[in-house]
């Protein structure tokens, strides 16, 4: 049984318990769903249908790509269904011999108007479009990484750490002078090492632009790592999985306010890291980091962190909102990224990727605040 079979099997059991005969996943423009890659290996652009009887149908846009990467019980190109998702759903139901009146679940992001089309054209089934259904259960399953994923992540982290070391060396030696040079350097170095590219658009903000949580534009031709505080947020994508790290470059002389921002960020990071254990509520970690800043009459304007995997931001979510009920579990990989930002003094953030193992948190990446 392949790793994809094992992952789908967990969903089949859920579907039986929930009396769901068939479920549809959609990975298309505007409705991206990386769970399809998680369950089949197909990189992108496909529909996936699962039946409670334990069968899978992948409907890819690119059949040639699917022949190389995908694993499913049946693969039928999208063109065979007139390139219409409702036709594909009807075809899947026929293939799986789904009885009329059965519960068939479609993605919760489906628009209301499209939902009405499903009801009209596939009304012989009980079409469900809901929150807290199979798609959310898939998100929960994906939050805990299996051994195959952890192996990929350790390799991705090792590549990330190589690039971090190169960045520190070249930036502090004044070999990379602009935000654009830094961003292009990361792209080139990760691809040299067999990566698919960066996991998201690199955010390189020199001292004049580091006051923003996410600089806009993401990078420019302005100087990077000049006197003051600069932020570099990047990730590399390896076999579909992205890392996510943030380094702060602090070039002296720094003001007292800037030194305080750096110190508080490191303290908040250390406090949250010290609390990580199986079962701890993610909200508690976020509140603890907030408290470090709060004692100094500072406030972090974003969440403490988030899960990472096939997407740069996924479950679990490390935020202080009252509706956050996520617990940290062994096998989860997530970021810690406390930071402070000031329109006058600039900003700083420290972000690393953490894996919770049976023996405690393992810091996969080696991002840091670089003083020079």
Co-location of 109 and 164 in the same domain: no
Domain boundary among 93, 126, 142: 142
Task: Give the pLDDT confidence score for residue 47 in this predicted structure.
Answer: 98
Q: 6 by DSSP, 3-state: which?
A: helix
Q: Band the pLDDT of 366: cuts 50, 70, 90.
A: very high
Same domain, 73 and 188: no
Q: Same domain for 133 and 155? A: no
pLDDT over 90 at 1, yes or no: no
The number of angstroms, rounded, from the C-alpha of 2 to the middle of its chain's C-alpha atoms is: 23
Where a domain ends, among 117, 142, 167? 142
User: What is the reported pLDDT for 372?
Assistant: 97
* 228-284 tens-digit pLDDT: 999 999 999 999 999 999 999 999 999 999 999 999 999 999 999 999 999 999 999
Domain hosting residue 366, numbered range: 144-371
Under the banding of pLDDT at 50, 70 and 90, the label for residue 53 is very high
168 and 134, same structural domain?
no
Mean pLDDT of 168-185: 98
Specify whether 24 is located in the same domain as 117. Answer: yes
Say yes or no to pLDDT of 208 above 90: yes
* CATH code for the domain in which residue 273 is found: 3.90.230.10
Residue-by-residue DSSP string for 139-186: HHHHHB--HHHHHHHHHHHHHHHHHHHHHHHHHHTTS--BHHHHHHHH
156 with 293, same domain: the answer is yes
Rounded percentage of the chain residues whose pLDDT exceeds 90: 99
Please give the average per-residue pLDDT across 293-308, as a whole number. 98
What pLDDT does residue 30 have?
A: 87
Rounded to two decimals, what is the model's pTM?
Answer: 0.95
Rg of the chain, C-alpha, whole Å = 23
C-alpha dihedral (282, 288, 292, 295), degrees to nearest 10? 130
The pLDDT of residue 135: 96
Task: Give the model confidence (pLDDT) of 6-30 as tens digits.
Answer: 999 999 999 999 999 999 999 999 8
Look up the CATH number of the domain holding residue 21. Answer: 3.40.350.10
Q: What pLDDT score does 222 carry?
A: 98
Q: Residue written as tokens 């202080």?
A: 320
Tokens for 368, please give them: 């840091």
Q: How many helices (H) and strands (E) does the chain have?
A: 10, 20
Domain boundary among 92, 122, 142: 142
195 and 138 both lie in a single domain: no
Alpha-carbon gap, residue 244 to 265, rounded angstroms: 17
> Rounded to whole angstroms, how far apart are CA atoms 291 and 274?
14
Looking at residues 112-117, what average pLDDT do you find? 96
- Domains in the chain, number: 2
Instruction: Give how far the C-alpha of residue 28 lies from the chain's centroid of Cα atoms, to the nearest Å.
Output: 17
Q: 179 and 106, same structural domain?
A: no
What is the rounded CA–CA span in Å between residue 217 and residue 204?
A: 9
State pLDDT tens for residues 57-109. Answer: 999 999 999 999 999 999 999 999 999 999 999 999 999 999 999 999 999 99
Average pLDDT value over all residues in the chain: 97
Q: Report whether 369 contacts 353 (CB < 8 A).
A: no
Mean pLDDT of 290-297: 98
User: In DSSP terms, which residues pair with 353 in a beta bridge?
Assistant: 335
């Amino acid at each position: 049984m392949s790793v994809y079979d094992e992952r789908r099997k967990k969903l089949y059991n859920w579907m039986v318990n929930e009396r769901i005969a068939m479920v549809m996943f959609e990975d298309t423009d505007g409705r991206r769903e990386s769970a399809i890659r998680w369950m089949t290996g197909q990189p992108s652009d496909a529909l996936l249908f699962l039946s409670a009887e334990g069968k899978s149908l992948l409907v890819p846009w690119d059949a040639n790509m699917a022949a190389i990467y995908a694993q499913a019980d049946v693969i039928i190109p999208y063109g065979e269904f007139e390139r219409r998702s409702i036709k594909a759903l009807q075809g899947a139901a026929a293939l799986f011999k789904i009885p009329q009146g059965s519960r068939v679940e479609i993605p919760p992001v489906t628009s209301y108007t499209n939902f009405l089309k499903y009801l009209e054209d596939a009304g012989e089934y009980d079409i469900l479009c809901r929150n807290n259904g199979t798609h959310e259960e898939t998100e929960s399953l994906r939050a805990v990484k299996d051994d195959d994923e952890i192996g990929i992540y350790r390799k991705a982290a090792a590549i990330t750490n190589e690039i971090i070391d190169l960045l520190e060396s070249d930036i502090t030696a004044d070999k990379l002078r602009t935000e654009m040079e830094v961003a292009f350097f990361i792209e080139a170095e990760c691809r040299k090492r067999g990566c698919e590219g960066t996991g998201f658009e690199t955010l390189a903000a020199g001292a004049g632009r580091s006051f923003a949580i996410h600089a806009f534009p993401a990078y420019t031709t302005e100087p990077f790592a000049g006197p003051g505080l600069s932020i570099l947020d990047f990730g590399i994508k390896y076999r579909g999985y992205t890392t996510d790290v943030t380094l702060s470059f602090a070039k002296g002389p720094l003001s007292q306010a800037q030194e305080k921002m750096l110190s508080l960020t490191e303290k908040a990071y250390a406090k949250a890291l010290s609390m990580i254990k199986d079962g701890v509520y993610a909200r508690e970690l976020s509140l603890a980091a907030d408290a470090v800043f709060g004692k100094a009459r500072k406030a972090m304007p974003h969440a403490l962190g988030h899960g990472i995997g096939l997407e740069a931001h996924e479950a679990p979510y490390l935020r202080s909102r009252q509706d956050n009920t996520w617990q940290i579990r062994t096998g989860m990989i997530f970021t810690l990224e406390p930071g402070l930002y000031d329109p006058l003094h600039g900003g700083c953030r420290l972000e690393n990727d953490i894996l919770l193992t049976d023996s405690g948190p393992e810091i996969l990446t080696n991002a840091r605040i670089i003083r020079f």
